[in-house]
Amino acid sequence: MTGGNWGLTNNNATGSNGFVGGLTPGKDTLFYELTNFCGSARDSMSIDVYSTWECDSINVVQPINKAGGYFHIYPNPNTGDFSIDFPDQGKIDLIITDVNGQIVETQILERQNVEPIQISIGNAATGIYFVRVSTDKNMYIGKILTE
pTM of the model: 0.57
By DSSP bridging, strand 139-146 and strand 72-74 are unpaired
CA pseudo-torsion sign 18, 20, 26, 30 = negative
Q: Average pLDDT of the chain?
A: 77
What residue type is 35 in one-letter code? T
Alpha-carbon distance of 51 to 60, in angstroms, equals 12
- Write the class of the CATH domain 58-146: mainly beta
Confidence check: pLDDT of 78 > 70:
yes
pLDDT band at 93 (very low <50, low <70, confident <90, very high): very high
Q: For the chain, what are the domain ranges?
A: 4-49, 58-146
Helices H / strands E in the chain, number of each: 1, 13
User: 12-57, pLDDT tens digit by residue?
Assistant: 666 666 566 666 666 667 677 777 777 777 776 666 666 554 555 4
**What are the backbone angles phi and psi of residue 56, rounded to the nearest 5°?**
-110, -5
What residue type is 110 in one-letter code? E
